[in-house]
Amino acid sequence: MFHVSGFMNNDVCIFCKIIKHEIPTDFIYEDERVVAFPDIKPSAPIHYLIVPKEHIQSIMYLKNNHQEIISKMIFTAKMLAEKLGLSGYKLIFNVGREGGQIIDHLHLHLLGGWDKKN
């Protein structure tokens, strides 16, 4: 299946299970490389996670051949923000435990929907 980069086996990874449709999730977007779905515990009025189908543990585990997937994640976030009508937003990668990363499958947070003056 997908190439595994990093420590965790993708058989036990919750995001891999979501990607394989083993856990019911409302996808806002899916293509052959990435998926996007709402965060279960939103930190903003609008909070989506953009997730590559390939199991990569985090930004720390990126290899040179991952440049395209990172670019794809950022362009997916941009496309979703436009589709959602966001006039401003935050894109966040939490990296490693010290960086606040809880799920060991690379993901980009798209946060927005606050009052316009934020």
What is the closest distance, in whole angstroms, from the C-beta atom of residue 98 to Zn ion in the complex? Answer: 20
Which residues touch 47 (CB under 8 Å, ≥6 apart)? 38, 39, 109, 110, 111
* Catalytic site includes residue 107: yes
94 binds ligand 5GP per the rule CB under 6 A: yes
Q: Which of 78, 103, 113, 114 binds ligand 5GP (CB under 6 A)?
A: 103
- Which of 12, 24, 98, 102 is close enough to bind ligand 5GP by CB under 6 A? 102
Segment near ligand 5GP (CB under 6 A); pick from 5-13, 36-44, 70-78, 83-91: 36-44
Q: Give the CA distances from residue 103 to residues 55, 60, 79, in Å, rounded to whole numbers and listed in that order.
A: 11, 14, 24
51: left (phi over 0), alpha (psi -120 to 50) or beta: beta
Residues forming the active site: 107
Chain contacts with ligand 5GP (rule: CB under 6 A): 14, 25, 37-41, 49, 94, 100-103
Chain contacts with Zn ion (rule: CB under 5 A): 10, 13, 15-16, 55, 105
